[in-house]
Chains A and B, each alone.
Chain A
Amino acid sequence: MGEQFGDSVDPTAFEVGKHQVDQAVVLTVSGEVDMLSSPQLAEAIETARATRPAALIVDLSKVNFLASAGMTVLVTAQAEVEPPTRFAVVANGSATSRPIKLMGIDSVLSLYSTLDSALSSISGE
């Protein structure tokens, strides 16, 4: 059959880092968010959400590709986050905020162009 598995997976380098800024948990995502990697993003969001932080921010500033599968993860997260926690997304670029806006998802997400603006908006309320 000539099938090959487990080798030469492209260096799409999807990664999620987590850090705390005051009362906010920030997930810093990098690489490509597609149907292959979006389950990992969903899991990272779910894990962070379970700790019920005051704010959960998904920072897509270092994401160079965002497919519909990734947008679905964001919309799902927005729907599942429960009141004490506020959910926000940081995105700014051709590959991220542009398709988010094209699909009108910015109307259901709290979308910020920078992490600083997301943090100050959240702490200012």
Chain B
Amino acid sequence: MGGQPGTTGCSDQPHSVSSSDDRSRFVRTRVAADAGSAARTRAEFGVWLERHFTLGADQFSDLLLAVNEAIANAAEFAYCDSAQRGTVDVSAAYDGDSDTLAVTVNDQGHWRPKVPVQPQLRGRGIPLMEALADEVTIDRTPHGTHVTLTWTDLTGPGLSA
């Protein structure tokens, strides 16, 4: 499956290095805040989930979608009023003792939905996260926005059969 460092001529891609991931953590730092990078990071998070956990189809989809929405919000809103495209840090930490997964998505921008349009059409990301995760915190600071999505009883007997 390739993956050799090789001679790609571009070694400055820390988010593509996954050798430090294990069951207790998934880390991608300085991911470009754009749609393509969001898709790639989502896919990598999905691979990590599948590799380390046995989840039901609904549960897996819920996790992937919630994390996607957090990254997508950062990609769409965090830097829309700044000239320079920013980055997003995504990390997941799993604690086996409490069977809890916490995913954080941090950016250095300010979420600012561009033009308010019909509420029916916009702003579904945060309600989605709230519906999909057990707990959602969104911490807006002058230096960025920090989203934490938490799932408890990740692998536990919560869901039967």
Contacts and interface: CB of A to CB of B under 8 A. Distances in A.
Interface of A: 2-4, 9-10, 12, 32, 34-36, 65-69, 71-72, 75-76, 79, 93-95, 98-99, 102-103, 108
21 contacts: A2-B10, A2-B11, A2-B12, A2-B13, A3-B32, A9-B36, A10-B39, A10-B40, A34-B42, A35-B35, A35-B76, A36-B39, A67-B69, A68-B69, A75-B121, A76-B121, A94-B57, A94-B60, A95-B61, A99-B61, A102-B128
B75 interface: yes
Leading 6 A-B pairs by shortest Cβ distance: A2-B12, A94-B61, A36-B35, A68-B124, A94-B57, A35-B35
Interface string B34-45: 011011101100
Contact of B124 (A72, A95, A108): A72
A65 B71 CA distance: 15
Interface of B: 10-13, 32, 35-36, 38-40, 42-43, 57-58, 60-62, 64-65, 68-69, 72, 75-76, 120-122, 124-125, 127-128, 131-132
Contacts, number: 80
